[in-house]
Structure formats: structure tokens, C-alpha cells
Structure 1
Amino acid sequence: MPWDNGRDPAVDLVRGIAVVCMVVAHVRVWAPTDAVPVRAALLVVNNVASPLFALVMGVSAGVVLTRARRPVAGRTFVLRNLVRGVILIAIGVALEQLHTFVAIVLQSLGATLVVAAPLTLLSATVLTGLAVVTFAAGPAVNAAARAVLDPARVSSDAWVDQVLQWFVLSTHYRVVSLLPFVLIGVVLARRGLSRRVAVGSLVVGVLAGVAVVGLWLTGTGIGRSEVVSGDLTDSLLDLALTGCAFGAIVLLARWPRASSAVTAMAPVRAVGALALTSYVLHVALIALVTRTVDWQARADHWPLLAGGILVGTVLACWMWWRLVGRGPVERLMAVATDRIT
């Protein structure tokens, strides 16, 4: 496997780009978005971030299962990931207390990991089937939950309602929508993230994109009717963007002639290696700006503030990675999980 002799740059690069897209999607609220090309670009960045991260989270689980040195499997693997999922939820809840405008994804990702952990031990064929079934059923499940449950629960702070939001009710991220990406990520890792796998990802992304265009031609979907997060059009768009992005990034990382470009992207790979740290850091920076700079000043100086948060997060992670190694939040996570045997 590509990760048998150390970190795989393809995995870190995909994860890093996913986190960078998350940061851009969050700081974009301060930027004027009147121009159509700008709105289109932000739509792509916003839609690809969370499913791409969910996909690479599944890849990371597959790496742990298949690596030559210190592989983890069976009961130990499941228990460690259950604990990781709970910790992700706890960190997400803590970040919510900063009261920023950021829709924190960690609770849904953590809950998804809890659900996916025991499933990842199934065969690749079964996992692929589960990914297809959960992806196909997701829009109907989301719609049914919203139709049956009280709409007030979407924004309720009650614990039971927050759990429902993480799973089906959130207008941003849901276990139902993220789970198929995690499952297929495990399958892709088991197949070694080869160039053939990357091409297959591109093909799936293109086919999903054709379906999105087909919906548009029939008068539904983006630009033609209301698109609700988690509905069929939104899910197909997520699949199209994620499949194409993942395939293109892995192909780039696997192409020998692009080795210098991959090396030059070390800062982004560092963000991928310190993904949880970088996520916490950029939310903390947004909270700092929100509390110290008034709204008008944020709008007037958005390039400096948004660019500062993005560049600051990337450079901080790069320097930490080079000088120290594993990120501080990742180290704390390891303290809680690596001792589980």
C-alpha cells in the first residue's frame, strides 16, 4: 500500500484541500458575492468541503486497517473509532459555545464515525452496496424526517433535538448524507488509492454531474427550483464535486511528473496532517475576529481578515508540522484512543 512506508501525500493532500475549502466556505460570509462567477465558485467550495472530508475520513480508517506496520483491526479498531467519534462530538459542542456563525461539522462527523466504525470491518463488496443504498435512500430519509418532526426542532438547543440535527434534521450536515462517503472511502483505501481507483472516482463524479445537468434540463434542481440541503439534487452535486475532486487530487499525487508540485503543496498537506487542529484553530480565529471587529469593518476589510485567517491557519499548521510533528489536538486524541487494545 502507498502508506506502508510512511504518510501518503495523496491522503494528506485530499484532507488538506477539504479543510482549506471549509475555511474558505466559512470566511466567505464577509466577502461581497454579487458576481455570478464568484457565487458559482463559492458554491463549489462550500459543497465539496464536508463530503470530501467525510470521504477521506473513511480513507483514513481504511489506511489503519490495511497498513503494514501496526495495523489495527477487529474490536480494537471499533472501540478506538467509537471513542474518536465521541471526542469529535465533544469538540464540536465546545466550539459551538464560541457562538460564531460557523455551522460546526464535527458533531455530524463524529456521529457518522460512531455509526460507520463497526460497518468498516465488513467486506469491500458489502460496504460498496451499503454506500449505494444509503446514498440512494438519504434524500428520502431526510425529507421524511423533516415532514414528520416538528420544524422547531431544527434550531432547538435541547439535547435530543441536537442529536436529531446531527443525524437527519440539520440544514448543513447530517449522518444520513455523510455516511455513504465514509463507507466508500474505506473501500477506496482497501483498493490502494491507485490511479485506476482515482480514474473510477472521476468517472462516478462525471456521471453524477451529468445527472445534475439532466435535472436542470427537466426544469428542476440548481437554478430551476429550490434546492434543500440533503435532497436529491444536493446529494448528486456533492457526489459530482467530491468524486471529481478526489480523483483529480489522487491522480496528481500519483503522477511522477507532478512530484515537484506535490512537494510545493507541503503547507496544504500539513493542514491535512493536522486536520483537527487546523479546524479548531480557524474557528477560534473567526471567533476572535467576530468579537473584536464590528460587522462594517469586517465587510470593508474582508480580504485582510478572511485572507489572514486562511493563510494564518495554513502557515501555523505547516510550521507546527515541520518543527513538532503531530498536531496538539491530534496528540490529545491519541492519548485517549491509542491505549485501547
Structure 2
Amino acid sequence: MTSDSLSATQPSRRDRLAVPDVLRGVAIIAMLLAHANIMLPNLPWVVKITTAQVNDLASPLFALVMGMSAQIVWNRRAGVAKTIAQQTIRGVLLIAIGVWMVLWGSWVAIVLQYLGLVLIVGVPLLLLRTRWLLGVLAVLTVVTQPILELARHSAWFSTQEPWVQEVGRWVLLGHSYRLVNLLPFFLLGALLLRHGFRRDGLLWTMAVIAPVAWIGAAVAKKFLEPVPVLSGDYLDTLHDVGLVFAVYVVVVLLAQIDPSGVATVRDAVFAPLRAWGQIALSLYLLHVAIIAVWNRDSGRPQENSVVGWLLVVVLPLTVAWVWVRFVGTGPVEWILGWVSGRSRPRAGVWA
């Protein structure tokens, strides 16, 4: 990433639309599968390990794609004040929806509050030139663990008002998610969008880093036993980097395929992923709503429930696919776009 301009190298129109949507589709599927694992408590250990990796992939990949999308919005040059206002409104709405979803009674750790905060904090940072944004990313990566350790051992948050404690969880003390860990992936996504989705030295470097980071984190965790590696620590982040880099490299390589026969297969795989990615927020709400209804009526199953798994994974994916094909913009996406004044409804593929 050598360019120092705000928008840097522009990806092609096709890639700019396809790659983020596909990555978002992968992220939402990963999240659905992770949440649905509760429906199948008695699985072989190999499957459980695989599901754990899928769970770890979802939130950082979502943050990465949010950074890409935010950079695309900046590249449209609609005006600094207008763009920041629109994105801030969207962030506040995500937080509000997330807080509301917590009340539904599902077993899902809701991520929207954290992503909304990432959007509010991260978007203004995209005004920085590339070299400065790289510097911010590097500093955040280095200082995150010391800051988390300081926050974990501080008694200050526990003595504050409930709303202060809640914001503290969003920023530093969340069990599964926190701003300080998601923000670097958001900034990385913006930087990758600036660079462009190309088969070049950067992509191959990421391809090398992915397995090294994933394996290195696993080996280091084993070596450090019984010292625990907590969520958000360096090794946990390194593990997430390996997963996110691997998925990004695969998607970009597939997006660059030229031979017609292989490209046809690629497009067939990308089509549902793009559809689910385009309405990932609506899909997420439907998925969590189904889980909440199940949890209130039946609780967590003690034995494998294939029916439950189909209801919380296959049903929402099917509804989302049909919606995109015939209607277009997801209902929640439409509401956010309308309230923030940013987007117009998109017609369905067959409309």
C-alpha cells in the first residue's frame, strides 16, 4: 500500500461490489453456524473445533467488510460533514438495534452495538492519508493488550453507573467483542479497499501470513499453558488475523478467475454469498429472532436437534435468498438507509 491519497488505487466496479458482498456473506454464514451449534451439542470433537474456528472468524470479518464499505462511501465524495453525519446515524441505529435485540432472550451474544461503535469511531479516521492510517492501525495493534489488561484489573468500571459499565463493555471489557479489537480490522478493511482487490505482492504476503498466524497462535497458546490466553490478547488477535486473511485471499483469488468454465462455477458460488451479504443485517435479525422464540419455548436442547438447526440456519438463509431475488434491499437495510438519508432501495434481481 504505497499510495498516500485518500482513495488510493480504485478497485474495478465489479470487484468493488462483489468482494465485500461475498466476504460479508461468508461472515454472516459463519455467525449463523456458530450460533446454531447450540442445537447440536453432541458432535465429534473435530466438528466442534471447526465450529470454534467459524465462530472466531465472524466478527473480525464483519469489521473488515464494514471498513471496506465505509471507504467506498468516502470515495463517493459526498462531503465530509454529510458522510460523517450519515455514518454516525447508522452507527447509533446499529447500537439501538443491538441493545433492543439483547432483550429478546436468545443465547446469542449480540454484536451490533460493538459494530455500531466501530462505525462511529472508525469513519472519521478514514480522513487520514494511507500512511497515517497505517500508523494508527499499527499503534492500535500494539497497545490493545496492555490497555485491556489495565481495564481488566481496574475497579473503576464496577463502581460506575450501569450505562457507564455497559459502554465500558462495548469499548474494553466485552466478553466476546470490544471496540479496541474490532477497530483494527475495520481500518484494515478500508486500507485493503484503497489498495484494490488484486493478485499482487500484498495478496501473496497475506496468503503466507494466514497459515503462519493461525498455526503460530495455536502453538504459542499450547506452549503457554496453563497461562490463559484471553479474548482480545495478542495471540487471540493473531489467530483471528490468520482466519480473516485466509478467507480474504481465497475470495479475491476466486474473484480474479478468468477462464469461462471456472468463472461460471465461481459465479454460482458467489451468487448466494453476495445475496446474503447484501442483506446480512436483516438476515441476522431474522436468525436471532428465531433463536429467541426457540429459546423461550424449548430452551437449549440437550440432544442434537436437526430440526432446530434447520430452523435457525437454513430457514433464514432461504428467506433472505428469496427476498433478494424478488424484492431487493433488505427491510432493515432500507430503514437504515432511509433514516440516514444515504441509500435508495435496490430492486430484486428478477423484479
**Superposition pairs for residues 121-270 of structure 1, below 5 Å?**
121-149=127-155, 158-196=162-200, 197-216=202-221, 219-220=223-224, 225-257=227-259, 258-265=262-269, 266-270=271-275
Q: For the residues of structure 1 that align with 2:266 and 2:77, how far apart are their CA atoms?
A: 27
Instruction: Give the one of 6, 24, 29 matched to 1:15.
Output: 24
Segment drifting more, 328-337 vs 70-79: 70-79
Percent identical: 35
Q: Work out the number of aligned pairs and report it.
A: 330
Instruction: Give the one of 92, 95, 114 matched to 2:120.
Output: 114
Cα gap change, 1:327/1:150 in structure 2, threshold over 3 Å: closer, same or farther?
same
Q: Letter of the 2:273 partner, please give it.
A: V
The equivalent residue for 2:297 is 292
**Superposition pairs for residues 288-327 of structure 1, below 5 Å?**
288-295=293-300, 298-327=301-330
Cα gap change, 1:274/1:71 in structure 2, threshold over 3 Å: closer, same or farther?
farther
8 Å CA contact 2:221–2:229 kept in 1: the answer is no
Task: State whether structure 2 residue 276 is matched by structure 1 residue 274.
Answer: no
Q: For the residues of structure 2 that align with 1:25 and 1:56, how far apart are their CA atoms?
A: 19
User: Moved runs in structure 1, 4+ residues, more than 6 A?
Assistant: none
1:235, distance to aligned residue in structure 2 (A): 1.1
**SS of residue paired to 1:8:** helix
Task: State whether structure 2 residue 347 is matched by structure 1 residue 338.
Answer: no
Task: State whether structure 2 residue 73 is matched by structure 1 residue 64.
Answer: yes
Instruction: Give per-residue Cα distances to partners, 1:173-213, cap 9 Å, x unaligned.
Output: 00000000000110100112222254343233234235314
Task: State whether structure 2 residue 13 is matched by structure 1 residue 4.
Answer: yes
Q: For the residues of structure 2 that align with 1:299 and 1:239, how far apart are their CA atoms?
A: 34
1:271, distance to aligned residue in structure 2 (A): 1.0
8 Å CA contact 2:42–2:303 kept in 1: the answer is no
8 Å CA contact 1:10–1:254 kept in 2: the answer is no
1:3, distance to aligned residue in structure 2 (A): 5.4
The equivalent residue for 2:64 is 55
CA RMSD in angstroms comes to 2.3
The equivalent residue for 2:349 is none
Q: Letter of the 1:288 partner, please give it.
A: V
1:286, distance to aligned residue in structure 2 (A): 0.6
Q: When the two structures are superposed, what TM-score results if normalisation uses the length of structure 2?
A: 0.87
Q: For the residues of structure 2 that align with 1:5 and 1:210, how far apart are their CA atoms?
A: 34
1:307, distance to aligned residue in structure 2 (A): 2.4
1:17, distance to aligned residue in structure 2 (A): 0.5
Segment drifting more, 304-313 vs 44-53: 304-313
8 Å CA contact 2:11–2:193 kept in 1: the answer is no
Q: For the residues of structure 2 that align with 1:283 and 1:226, how far apart are their CA atoms?
A: 30
**SS of residue paired to 1:195:** coil
Instruction: Give per-residue Cα distances to partners, 1:259-302, cap 9 Å, x unaligned.
Output: 2233223222211000111111111111111122244xx34452
Q: Letter of the 1:89 partner, please give it.
A: I
Segment drifting more, 26-35 vs 56-65: 26-35
Q: For the residues of structure 1 that align with 2:143 and 2:213, how far apart are their CA atoms?
A: 16
Q: When the two structures are superposed, what TM-score results if normalisation uses the length of structure 1?
A: 0.89
Q: For the residues of structure 2 that align with 1:3 and 1:312, how far apart are their CA atoms?
A: 34
Q: For the residues of structure 1 that align with 2:289 and 2:35, how far apart are their CA atoms?
A: 12
Q: For the residues of structure 1 that align with 2:85 and 2:212, how far apart are their CA atoms?
A: 37
8 Å CA contact 1:23–1:282 kept in 2: the answer is yes
Cα gap change, 1:89/1:33 in structure 2, threshold over 3 Å: closer, same or farther?
same
Q: For the residues of structure 1 that align with 2:136 and 2:16, how far apart are their CA atoms?
A: 28
Cα gap change, 1:33/1:234 in structure 2, threshold over 3 Å: closer, same or farther?
farther
Cα gap change, 1:203/1:77 in structure 2, threshold over 3 Å: closer, same or farther?
farther
Instruction: Give per-residue Cα distances to partners, 1:216-252, cap 9 Å, x unaligned.
Output: 46x216xx54221111221111111111111112211
